[in-house]
A and B are shown apart, each in its own frame.
Chain A
């Protein structure tokens, strides 16, 4: 499952505008995407308003590039 991040790039190894990221899962408890960001490690990001947790002014969006048969990513983004 893959998504493209669109919005302001943030962090030195957070999310970069236009980059494609692999989503490992939709976290059951939080509903967040657990994805591998620019750091190469997996972190939780909001499917609807991805951004840094300490700077609410920065918000982007995800665009689904590759989804599973159930449309898990699409459902999470359009929830």
Chain B
């Protein structure tokens, strides 16, 4: 456990030095988790905490303070699914407002059945310009997270939901899609067409 705390701290210090804010924010949470597990273990077993064994060269007071502050901001921004409250401290959460992702594939077949066009974007079709516009990995909370969690409990927990945007091209048209996604996939009823343009 002491080794795990040291490893988490080492990575946090490295991300901080490299200026990787997003990775640092994630790692800060891991440092906290490892420290909490160590503290709980010592308390449970009556052992004395040997903090000298969890020290890491380069992980100074400045970084430690930054880790604590980042975790505090993160906690404020985490939706509490039980009481349904949001802590909208979004601008200073340490996470980006929008997160760009590499191209991916459509998780559901989309039937775009509109008066002037009938197109099918099959499951697996290429999606480009994919971004997370709200939810996990961003500082923007999902407005209806409570409904997502209660309607699709098998798709994952509140912290895993993302609202995504992406573009797929079929039949000379460019479709901008928006959808909700979690580890369990994309619910069929949660895909929408934001806009259509001619390619």
Interface residues of A (CB under 8 A from B): 10-14, 27, 29-32, 37, 39-44, 46-49, 52-56, 58, 76, 79
Which residues from A are CB-within-8-Å of B112?
Answer: 53
In the complex formed, the residue of B with least CB distance to A37 is B192
User: Are B195 and A58 in touch, CB under 8 angstroms?
Assistant: no
Which residues of A sit under 8 angstroms from B117, Cβ to Cβ? 29-31
Q: In the complex, which residue of chain A has the Cβ closest to the Cβ of B151?
A: A12
- A31: nearest residue on chain B (CB-CB)? B115
Could you say which residues of chain B place their CB within 8 Å of the CB of A46?
Answer: 113-115
**Could you say which of B115, B178, B197 contacts A32, with CB atoms under 8 Å apart?**
B115
Contact partner of B114 (CB less than 8 A), chosen from A11, A14, A30, A39, is A30
Q: Could you tell me which B residues sit within 8 Å of A by CB distance?
A: 108-117, 143-144, 147-148, 151, 177-178, 180, 186, 188-198
Nearest 8 CB-CB pairs, A to B? A31-B115, A54-B108, A31-B116, A12-B147, A55-B188, A30-B114, A32-B114, A54-B191
Give B121 Cβ to nearest chain A Cβ, in Å. Answer: 8
Inter-subunit contact A52/B194 (CB<8 Å) = no
B190 touches A44 (CB 8 A): no
CB of B115 within 8 A of CB of A48, answer yes
CB of B199, distance to nearest CB on chain A (Å): 12
Residues of chain B with a CB closer than 8 A to A79's CB: 115
SS class, residues of chain B in contact with chain A: strand
Instruction: Say yes or no: A44-B114 contact (C-beta < 8 A), given A12-B147, A12-B148.
Output: yes
Given contacts A44-B114, A54-B108, 15 further A-B contacts (CB under 8 A): A11-B189, A12-B144, A12-B190, A14-B192, A31-B114, A31-B115, A32-B193, A43-B178, A43-B194, A44-B193, A44-B196, A46-B113, A46-B114, A55-B188, A55-B189
A34 vs B148: C-alpha distance when bound (angstroms): 24
User: Shortest CB–CB separation between residue A58 and chain B, in angstroms?
Assistant: 7
Q: How far is the CA of A22 from the CA of B117 in the complex (A)?
A: 23
Can you give 10 A-B contacts (C-beta < 8 A)?
A10-B189, A11-B189, A30-B115, A31-B116, A42-B194, A44-B194, A46-B114, A53-B112, A53-B191, A56-B113
- Complex Cα spacing A23 to B70, Å: 42
CB distance from B191 to the nearest CB of A (A): 4
Q: In the complex, how many angstroms separate the beta carbon of B46 from the nearest chain A beta carbon?
A: 48
